[in-house]
Amino acid sequence: MRISLILCTILAAYGSPSSALELDVAVNEVTATAAAGGSSGVTDDNTIETVTESFTESLFAEDSGTSSVAEIEWILDGPSVVISVNSTYFINGLNPGIEFVGTEIGSIGFSPDVDSTYEISGSLSYSGPSGFWIRSVVDLRDLSLPVGDRTLFEDTAESIATADESFVVGGGAEGDFLNIDVGNAMGNLKGGTTYVFSVIQQISEIDETTAGIDLNGNGNIMLRIEELAPVPLPASILLFSPALIALGVWRCR
């Protein structure tokens, strides 16, 4: 009996094969915005209450040729979940006034059912001269922690005087105006805990000195969540366990 108990304890410590990762996801709001000629702008948004299967959400906002296109994907695939945001931006230089494009995910709240890992990656860039303001904000927060300690990861970068600017998530101090780097782009998540993931991408003219100049921008952000793999059973235990079982049977006799 004692030997059987020891064997069961060893096997429990190393875990057993697990089922597919389940992720309870709630999306607060996803917004794509385009504003041209000093207008209040055009917005395309959607609020999604729950996500239970893979799908793609496409948003398009256009104002006088200035446009934002955002495609948001949830890919639920067995032990992994991928949330991605891919955007393309265009500012029409023929429009008067200050123009603005951007994508914003107010918050994606999610709770993995088992301990998991996360990895955040992506970039925001534009092709054009200096004189444009470009801003990228990506953050992940743990709502179970005290308010001041919730940030697991934040990467904020802003530039106002760099031509052909490009930011890479987790790339360090890349902005010429503002940089905030907190936490790690890779880490662990606790099963049953609620987290919030947010993304903001913005590109805007600063003043009318860039009038007549077109701008093209691209953004992509990805959050990958994978079930934390159980510790594999050492080969020595696999070889030794039949001997323990046989010894237990012999002693019972």
CB atoms within 10 A of CB 161: 12
Q: Which of 52, 23, 182 is nearest to 115 (CA)?
A: 23
CA angle 52, 115, 118 (to 5 degrees): 75
- Asked whether the whole model's pTM tops 0.85, one would answer no
Tell whether the model's pLDDT for residue 241 goes beyond 60.
no
**Which residues, in sequence order, are CB contacts of 249 under 8 Å at separation 6+?**
none
Mean pLDDT of the 90-113 span: 80
Quote the pLDDT of residue 32: 65
Q: Is 229 exposed, middle or buried (0-12, 13-18, 19+ CB in 10 A)?
A: exposed
Tell whether the model's pLDDT for residue 244 goes beyond 60.
no
Q: How far is CA 127 from CA 36, 70, 132, 219, in A?
A: 18, 18, 10, 12
CA distance 25 to 34: 27
DSSP 44-68: EEEEEEEE-S-EEEEEEEEETTEEE
Chain mean pLDDT for the chain: 78
Q: By percentage, how much of the chain surpasses pLDDT 90?
A: 29
- Least confident stretch, 22-31, 164-173, 215-224: 22-31
- Contact in structure between 105 and 199 (CB atoms under 8 Å): yes
Higher pLDDT pick, 196 / 65: 196
- The pLDDT tens digits for 110-147 are 888 889 999 999 999 999 888 899 999 999 999 999 99
Euclidean distance between the first and the last CA atom of the chain, given in angstroms as a whole number: 12
Quote the pLDDT of residue 166: 94
Quote the pLDDT of residue 102: 84
Domain ranges of the chain: 15-234
Quote the pLDDT of residue 153: 97
CA distance 219 to 215: 14
Quote the pLDDT of residue 107: 75
CA distance 42 to 124: 21
* Bridge partners of residue 218, in order along the sequence: 88, 125
Tell whether the model's pLDDT for residue 236 goes beyond 60.
no
Quote the pLDDT of residue 163: 92
DSSP 164-191: T-EEETT--S--SSEEEEEE-SEEEE-T
- Least confident stretch, 4-8, 56-60, 61-65, 116-120: 4-8
- Least confident stretch, 46-55, 157-166, 195-204: 46-55
